[in-house]
């Protein structure tokens, strides 16, 4: 039996099944090899094809790797090699990435960037007010690569879409944050420029009526907006909602993160009423705008490996403390502590004077920085905590340059430019000094992050988060949209939901209890009306 081009196979089957002369009806299936790209990092992209592989856990990125679940269950993935038998081309459905910008020169993204006469570099920068949306953070480039890293080009990774039109809307700055005014303007701009899908891998706890209006405007123009559920391990249906996930617009698809055995990731938000689908979000490899050296301290809760004590007793130690992160959740963090029994209620010893240092390789980097975050409290003016650096190594032998000296209450996060320490022997030192008078809490650092960046157009990075789950669904939405350009946004969302895969770990955690799946979503094609079946000899 052969159908006309405008006839639907499923309605034809139902009609034939009703005929008593017909014994059996089924589609004439096509059998093919799975479509596998030649991109060298494809074997690391478990979200597209999970063989139970171990994802490259480079030591400098350990705090970006989810090591809490070591089990890896093969075939827990989006089955994209089967979907690619049908199509790999999303270019008929432009995708706007509203984020930190995109490295539009990256070898795996350049050919898939959207552009126009007004926006030759692929988009617009709403942070700096120009038409150069270059990524100075990395997050946006990573998201873009999951959606549409060029497929089968023998380089780097591959996206859900091998061919795409990715619009860069830079609304977040180098620190990864941005104003609602920039996000709203970016949504309106992307909608007016023809985006069919908008990726919003960002969130806030505040309801914003103007942002809701911008998303509703996108809905009125037939645009799907795929958003991140959030990374607080919280129930979005509870007292603390997460936006844009919790806006009640039917063009929003909110995505939770799954790990490599298709369990809900330990950090992922969830919500039976507010979160729609799950998608791979843990240990995701994708494009990155720069070579990066990244050292996150401390690496141990019992010692400070690699750090050298130069003077003083009692000295700096490593430990762990448990903190509330809201919604009844807690987190236990390793910390660099100024003395052994530090906590928020103990006092440091009198007459302390102790220093430690460690050497980090920042040689050849274009930029370098140090970020610290934690609790700092000393007697004002008399007791001090200081951070210094020495470009030549051991500060006792070569001297050091002071970055900052703290006195009093200085809790929070601080970032320092290490342009004078871009060497292979960059040594950073910590000193704590107290007198015999009043003593206070001291120093407890839960972040000590050293980073070096060198511009590079062919590198990758590993990340985790609902921000990484979201572009998997954005790419699939674009693939469905492009596969059937007559679809409305509701048709595409219906295909995403009905074509998703049942995942027990998402039951009661998402509205569908399911995870995005490539070939199943593509199989939910639009059903024509008033068709007839014609028998041919």
Mean pLDDT, range 262-267, rounded to an integer: 94
**Which element (helix H / strand E) includes 369?**
strand 367-377
pLDDT at residue 183 greater than cutoff 90: yes
Mean pLDDT: which of 2-11, 394-403, 423-432 is highest? 423-432
pLDDT at residue 59 greater than cutoff 60: no
Confidence class for position 424, pLDDT limits 50, 70, 90? very high
Confidence class for position 529, pLDDT limits 50, 70, 90? very low
Confidence class for position 290, pLDDT limits 50, 70, 90? confident
Residues that are catalytic = 99, 139, 300
Mean pLDDT, range 304-332, rounded to an integer: 73
pLDDT tens, residue by residue, 157-181 = 999 999 999 999 999 998 888 999 9
Written as one string, the DSSP assignment of 379-431 is -TTTSEEEEEEETTS-HHHH--EEEEEE-SB--EEEEEE-GGG-STTEEEEEE
Instruction: Please tell me which residue, 161 or 239, carries the higher pLDDT value.
Output: 161
Query: What is the chain's mean pLDDT, rounded?
Result: 89
- Of the CATH numbers 3.40.50.200, 3.40.50.1100, 3.40.605.10, 1.10.10.10, which one belongs to the domain with range 87-283+464-523? 3.40.50.200
pLDDT tens, residue by residue, 471-506 = 999 999 999 999 988 899 999 999 999 999 999 999
Q: Is residue 78 a contact partner of residue 279, using CB atoms and an 8 Å limit?
A: yes
CATH class of 291-456: mainly beta
Mean pLDDT, range 421-445, rounded to an integer: 92
Q: Is residue 492 a contact partner of residue 224, using CB atoms and an 8 Å limit?
A: yes
pLDDT at residue 28 greater than cutoff 70: yes
Residue 340: predicted pLDDT: 78
Instruction: Please tell me which residue, 148 or 377, carries the higher pLDDT value.
Output: 148
Confidence class for position 386, pLDDT limits 50, 70, 90? very high
Instruction: Please tell me which residue, 297 or 533, carries the higher pLDDT value.
Output: 297
Mean pLDDT, range 395-400, rounded to an integer: 87
Confidence class for position 319, pLDDT limits 50, 70, 90? confident
Residue 54: predicted pLDDT: 87
pLDDT tens, residue by residue, 132-152 = 999 988 999 999 999 999 999
pLDDT tens, residue by residue, 337-356 = 988 777 777 788 888 888 99
28, with CB counted inside 10 A (0-12, 13-18, 19+), is exposed
pLDDT tens, residue by residue, 81-134 = 999 999 999 999 999 999 999 999 999 999 999 999 999 999 999 999 999 999
* Residues of the chain above pLDDT 90, percent: 65
Residue 398: predicted pLDDT: 87
Among 255, 297, 257, 253, smallest CA distance to 428 is for: 297
Mean pLDDT, range 184-212, rounded to an integer: 97
Mean pLDDT: which of 216-230, 290-304, 353-367 is highest? 216-230
For the chain, the structural domain boundaries read: 87-283+464-523, 291-456
**Both ends of the chain: CA-CA distance in Å?**
8
Confidence class for position 531, pLDDT limits 50, 70, 90? very low
Q: What CA–CA distance (Å, rounded) separates 135 from 88?
A: 26
């Amino acid at each position: 039996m052969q159908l006309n081009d405008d006839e639907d196979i499923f309605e034809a089957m139902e009609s034939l099944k009703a005929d008593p002369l017909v014994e059996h009806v089924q589609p004439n299936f096509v059998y093919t090899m799975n479509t596998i790209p030649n991109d060298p990092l494809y074997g690391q992209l478990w979200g597209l094809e999970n063989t139970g592989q171990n994802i490259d856990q480079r030591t400098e990125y350990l705090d970006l790797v989810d090591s809490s679940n070591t089990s890896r269950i093969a075939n827990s993935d989006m089955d994209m090699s089967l979907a690619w038998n049908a199509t790999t081309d999303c270019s008929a459905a432009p995708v706007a990435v509203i984020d930190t910008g995109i490295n539009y020169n990256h070898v795996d993204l350049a050919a898939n960037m959207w552009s126009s006469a007004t926006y030759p570099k692929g988009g617009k920068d709403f942070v700096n007010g120009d038409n150069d949306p270059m990524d100075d953070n990395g997050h946006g480039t990573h998201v873009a690569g999951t959606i549409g890293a060029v497929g089968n080009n023998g380089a780097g990774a591959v996206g859900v879409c091998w061919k795409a039109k990715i619009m860069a809307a830079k609304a977040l700055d180098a620190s990864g944050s941005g104003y609602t005014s920039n996000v709203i303007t970016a949504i309106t701009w992307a909608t007016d420029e023809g985006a069919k899908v908008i990726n919003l891998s960002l969130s806030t706890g505040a309801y914003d009526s103007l942002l809701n209006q911008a998303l509703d405007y996108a809905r009125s123009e037939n645009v799907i907006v795929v958003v991140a559920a959030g990374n607080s391990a919280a129930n979005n249906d509870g007292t603390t909602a997460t936006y844009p996930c919790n806006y009640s617009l039917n063009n929003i698809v909110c995505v939770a993160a799954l790990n490599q055995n298709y369990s809900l990731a330990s950090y992922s938000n969830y919500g039976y009423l507010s979160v729609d689908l799950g998608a791979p979000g843990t240990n995701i490899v994708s494009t990155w705008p720069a070579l990066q050296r990244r050292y996150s301290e401390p690496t141990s809760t019992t010692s400070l490996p690699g750090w050298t004590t130069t003077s003083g007793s009692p000295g700096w130690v490593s430990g762990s403390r448990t903190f509330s992160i809201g919604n009844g959740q807690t987190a236990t963090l390793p910390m660099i502590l100024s003395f052994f029994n530090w906590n928020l209620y103990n006092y440091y010893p009198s007459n302390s004077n102790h220093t430690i240092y460690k050497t980090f390789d920042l040689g050849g980097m274009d930029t370098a920085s140090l970020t610290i975050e934690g609790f700092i409290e000393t007697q004002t003016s008399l007791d001090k905590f200081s951070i210094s650096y020495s470009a030549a190594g051991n500060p006792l032998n070569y001297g050091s340059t002071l970055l900052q000296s703290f006195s009093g209450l200085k809790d929070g996060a601080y970032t320092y430019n290490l342009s004078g320490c871009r060497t292979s022997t960059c040594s950073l030192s910590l000193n704590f000094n107290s007198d015999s008078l009043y003593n206070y809490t001291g120093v407890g650092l839960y972040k000590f992050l050293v980073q070096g960046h060198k511009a590079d157009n062919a590198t990758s990075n590993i990340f985790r988060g609902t921000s990484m789950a979201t572009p998997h669904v954005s790419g699939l939405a674009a693939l469905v949209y492009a596969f059937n350009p007559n679809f409305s946004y509701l048709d595409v969302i219906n295909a995403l939901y009905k074509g998703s895969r049942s995942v027990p770990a998402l039951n009661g955690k998402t509205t569908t209890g399911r995870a995005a799946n490539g070939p199943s979503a593509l199989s939910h094609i639009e059903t024509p009306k008033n068709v007839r079946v014609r028998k041919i000899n």
